Amino acid sequence: MSFQLKVHSLILLTVLTFFDANAQQVKIMSYNIGSTNWSITQDSVIARITVNNPDVFCAVEAGQNKRPFLESSLPTYRLLQTFGATPNICESHIFLKKDMFSVLDSGYIQMPTYVGYTKIGRYLNWARLKHNISQEQFIIYGSHFLAPVGANVDSARVGQYRHANAMMQQMSLDTNLNIPQITVGDFNAGVSSDLMKYLINQIPITFNGATITNPIDLEDSWVIANSTATKPATTFTGSSAIDWILTTPNTHVLNATIDDKGIDGGVPPSDHKPLQITIDIGSTVSINETSKMQSINVYPNPFQNRLYFEMDEVFIENISLELFDINGRLVYSLLGASHINGSVLEIDCSSLNNGIYFYFLTNSNKSISGKIILRKGIR
């Protein structure tokens, strides 16, 4: 089969899956419901959840009286009983549509912060869910990172890095399940921060004499669904996009939205906006199967202008590369290893437009393909 036919087949499969009546779509929301005006905004918060109608959502800053209010006001949902009889130890909670999922496993761990931290504990809680109709599984993780503001900015950043490292170590324990992993919450960090570069681009962080590395490839679901659009602010004040839903590459993200409604000249429901994605859990690819096929590391992804393919030396011989756009048009090609510096192939895509592309790397023995996203000038 030609490369053109391969990429057209890949695009056609994606379209058919989207319209397949048997495709099992699940809506997942991350929503920080915190507000200094909770007494007058609580009904509006319920309205935003009801209107968006997520199947699973993580409510951040849902401690004390807020969590019981959610439970009593949303009768079609049930609280994930991660914390058992002590739900007040945490203010981030996962809610599920009743009768839609079976909980196969769940748990929590307390996240490390910094010396002298005295506020409510920060936790990562998670659940492995099985859809009761399709029987497909996925794991959702929910948490709330420290905010690097005030007098303890440096200490809070250390707490963020420790939180991220503990979260990735926990997630790495579940990769052998070969099911979608989705981590959500208010990370209190923008895309250009060291924290998000660590989580999304796997760039190590060194602090306090220690270096942490991220063993898991995570994708920003907003970028996957909206490759040419800048991510809007997820807060009502300023332009901060600090709420996240990150997914492993075997998660089929169909769309992503940020709800900025709920204001009619009055007080916003929360100082954050609900972030929601729709995934198709009926069309996933095994991470282990993918890693066995691949002998390369493609980075950064998304990228701006220049893209790098780092590969095993054994794969370099007689190599060729072709890039196709979303319509199946060949937009870039090269043949031979003359462009490779050591084990890294660098290509200049500055002449291409923003969007989704598919690459096909081949040598005499194997072919490797994947999806990349070009986002020049978009943060």
In Å, what is the CA distance from 32 to each residue of 91, 122, 244? 10, 14, 11
Q: Where residue 165 falls among pLDDT bands split at 50, 70, 90?
A: very high
Average pLDDT of the residues in 256-268: 85
| Stronger pLDDT, 234 or 312, i.e. the higher one | 234
Find the farthest-apart pair of alpha carbons in the chain and give their distance in angstroms, rounded. Answer: 67
pLDDT tens figures, 44-95? 999 999 999 999 999 999 998 899 999 999 999 999 999 999 999 999 999 9
pLDDT tens figures, 178-231? 999 999 999 999 999 999 999 998 999 999 999 999 999 999 999 989 988 889
Question: Where does residue 131 rank: exposed (0-12), middle (13-18), buried (19+ CB within 10 A)?
Answer: middle
| Stronger pLDDT, 261 or 20, i.e. the higher one | 261
Structure tokens belonging to residue 326: 């979303």
Helix (H) or strand (E) holding 105: strand 101-110
State how far the Cα of 228 lies from the Cα of 230, in Å rounded to an integer.
Answer: 7
Q: Structurally, what CATH architecture does the domain formed by 22-284 represent?
A: 4-Layer Sandwich (3.60)
Return the minimum-mean-pLDDT range out of 55-64, 88-97, 129-138, 344-353.
Answer: 344-353
State how far the Cα of 373 lies from the Cα of 43, in Å rounded to an integer.
Answer: 39
Q: How high is the mean pLDDT of the chain?
A: 86
Domain limits, the chain = 22-284, 294-374
Average pLDDT of the residues in 155-172: 96
pTM of the model: 0.78
Q: Are 243 and 234 in contact (CB under 8 A)?
A: yes
Q: How far apart are the first and last CA of the chain?
A: 37
Task: Answer whether residue 104 shows pLDDT above 60.
Answer: yes
State how far the Cα of 67 lies from the Cα of 71, in Å rounded to an integer.
Answer: 6
Task: Answer whether residue 20 shows pLDDT above 60.
Answer: no
HSE at residue 149, side-chain half, CA atoms within 13 A, is: 5
State how far the Cα of 217 lies from the Cα of 201, in Å rounded to an integer.
Answer: 8
pLDDT tens figures, 281-298? 876 554 444 443 455 788
State how far the Cα of 239 lies from the Cα of 248, in Å rounded to an integer.
Answer: 26
- Please report the pLDDT score of residue 376 as a whole number: 80
Q: 294-374 domain in CATH 3.90.180.10?
A: no
Task: Answer whether residue 131 shows pLDDT above 60.
Answer: yes
State how far the Cα of 289 lies from the Cα of 376, in Å rounded to an integer.
Answer: 31
- Please report the pLDDT score of residue 22 as a whole number: 44
SS3 254: strand
Helical ranges in 132-220 per DSSP H: 153-172, 194-201
- Please report the pLDDT score of residue 23 as a whole number: 57
Return the minimum-mean-pLDDT range out of 159-168, 205-214, 344-353.
Answer: 344-353
State how far the Cα of 37 lies from the Cα of 266, in Å rounded to an integer.
Answer: 11
pLDDT tens figures, 108-117? 999 999 999 9
Is the backbone peptide bond immediately before 300 cis, with ω within 30 degrees of 0? Answer: yes
| Stronger pLDDT, 53 or 378, i.e. the higher one | 53
Structure tokens belonging to residue 358: 């598919």
Question: What is the residue type of 379?
Answer: R
Q: Which neighbouring-strand residues pair with 128?
A: 105, 139
- Please report the pLDDT score of residue 241 as a whole number: 94
Question: Phi and psi dihedrals of 269, rounded to 5?
Answer: -60, -35
